[in-house]
Structure 1
Amino acid sequence: MQTTTWSKLTDEDRLEILAAVRAGESIDAIAIRYNLKASSLARKLRKLKAKKAPPADSKEQVLRDERHNTATLESKSLRITTLEQLLEACNVDLSVWKVDRYVVNKWEVGTKIASGGVLVEPLFQVKAWLVRIKPEPIHPVIQPVTASITPCDFPKPSRAGLHRALIWADPHFGFVRDLQTGHLTPFHDRRALDIIVQIAPATRPDRIDCLGDLLDLPEWTDRFLRSPEFYYTTQPAVLEAHWWLTQLRLASPESAINIYEGNHDRRMRDAVVTHLRAAYDLRAADEINMPPALSVPKLLGLRGLGIHWIDNYPHSADWLNDGVRLSHGEKAQVQGNTAKAVVNEADSTEIFGHIHRIEWVSRTKHERNRARLIAGFCPGCTCHIDGRVPAKAAQSQWQEG
């Protein structure tokens, strides 16, 4: 009668042989029962012993490593030999997870037994990589800020004589993220902002005006390439801007505070119109008189701070008095020429931002019974000017002020 070989045995036969060896049955008796040559079976067991494979674990190893939207499952055992058994052992909810890929590996390991023989066992490794069917946001989603402040006891500004205004522009609240460390480097200059917060209670202004580009919003634009270093930076920018505005309100509780929409602030509105028209001007049913749900004033919680948002750039403007108009500005020429272009077209003094430069140009307009001074003035910016803020030129002619 022709004998068979170890390689032709089924896995079930091999497991039975291993169980018989474990029970102390002789190799000759096992060989006869499975139609094997005793010498071949003994040689196979000696080869397994010579491999010096690690012994099979007495305890089954089943590991699950879940991180945000991915999970890794791995088992090393005799019992779990298929993907389905691994998913069942790890209690995977297939309505939440789907299998991205998997592998099944098999090898044989041998260990000595008390009778002096070798116990050979097949060991299986089943490993699977899963992904969430509906991914969860890894970074904080963009949410509006809830304002909660405690007013400080500052002296009320004097209403006698000239009124005072504290005017600043272009803080560009935003960050660039280090993709290796996750560190956020701010576009806005916290030192300049701290000076503004200190000036407010010292000068007791009647009004405080930020001339636009409060937020930079680099990941909301289609005009320029959106670098991955800007991804998921809107929420921290919103939180920090709200914090500084809260400090300003606490420092000057009686002042009227106005923020003008700039071209960077408008990026959010333009992105909604371009990519998500159904969300444009959408408001909660119980906040129908509030700003739209996805808008800068809503996200910053300006209403809770008592801050007025002047929208509709480039028409966002207000009058300081009958002869001085405030706006973000829309002209940008080479250094020294923007204020000149503004004052040549204006019929009143214009204080504007946008260009991040300190410029002041004036002219005299001669009328029938008087000569009237008209000026164009930009106070500079309150963002960093060391190149970290995205710009067209590597070395922009910017000044803080």
Structure 2
Amino acid sequence: MSIDTAPRTSGGPVRHAERALAPDLARGSMLLIIALANVAGVVFAGEPGLDTTPEGADRGLNFLLFELVHARGYPVFAVMFGYGIVQLARRQDASGATPKQVRSVLLRRNVWLVVFGFAHATLLYYGDFLGAYGIVGIVMTLVLLRRGDKFHRIALVLWALSAVEILVVGAILVSRLLGGSDGSAPLPSGHVDSLAAPDYFASMLDRLSEWPMHTVTVVPFIIIAWLGMWAARRRILEEPARHKTLLTWTAVCGLGVAIVGGLPAALVSAGWLHVDDSTTGLMLLLHGGSGMFAGPGYVAIFGLIALRVTRPGPVIGGLSALGQRSLSGYLFQSMAWLILLAPFTLALGDRFSSPTVTGLIIAVAVWLVSVLIARLLDRRKQAGPAEIALRRLTYGPRG
């Protein structure tokens, strides 16, 4: 049974370029959002990472992080993960593999992702998502991949129910604010022991205990990955011209929900709104729930950008090259945080007046370096080291 349900369209070189560009552009760009989100957590050893007593420019940076980054980066990752499962299965189908062989390849790949995630969390960074997505990938391969269109519409129903939930939480929050909710409670930020550990061995032991619980909390993101699978079955990013209206509405509505839903928490994080403890908890609930809509919103924007590109230049080419090596780019970031920001290494976050500014500069710089490295590898027709390792483990030495 084929998963290729979208109608074929005719098209010349431009349409072919669109199919190749948009998914890679989305993956490369999402790594910047992930870098900005993760670096704040590393600098402040908390989740979400924020300066609870911001001054001056840090107030505005906190505001922007909560509006555009925190709880808004990994939904992009999740959408593209689900999209990638269908892309990989489609390539296997085209090569003549049977459904059983395709399933075997996907299961091996996702099992190895869990192994990668365990190693990543143990050695580098507690906030690993690879293990959770490996688990999600196994479930999606076994339960969702070969289902028909009617079954996949359940994903849209679940998103509609999530939107209703956000509206209800938002209404309760507005009612509470209008009724008066005076206080001076900061947004709660959970302390992460491994990020404040005094030495590497202690941080590794902390990560071994933190990773399982973090992974469990991420697995429910399957609803976001399922939307990516639904989109991939219709080649929405490969053929953005056919889906321009859908992409436009998704960008406007998705980011609109994320921005409006994140506004109360963003105002509190900046110190521009003061409420009590119970209200801040409700704000974080709304912030996290609305953040999932940023995933399809951001992805839709990348699709619209790809639609306008007829010949990728250095910038788009670099982002696309990083997207093709997104696993390596993701792991590269974690190595950078360990070397540059850990208390027992360079600890750059504590060496300057504003940890927030320092962290964001480092995040952008690390991401730019990964773009340049990916571009160099692309010119040499070389995959990223993590992609090479995962491919050989999945397909064997000749894969």
Could you tell me the TM-score, scaled by structure 2's length?
0.23
Higher share of residues assigned strand: 1
Q: Which has the higher Rg, Structure 1 or Structure 2? A: 1
Higher share of residues assigned helix: 2
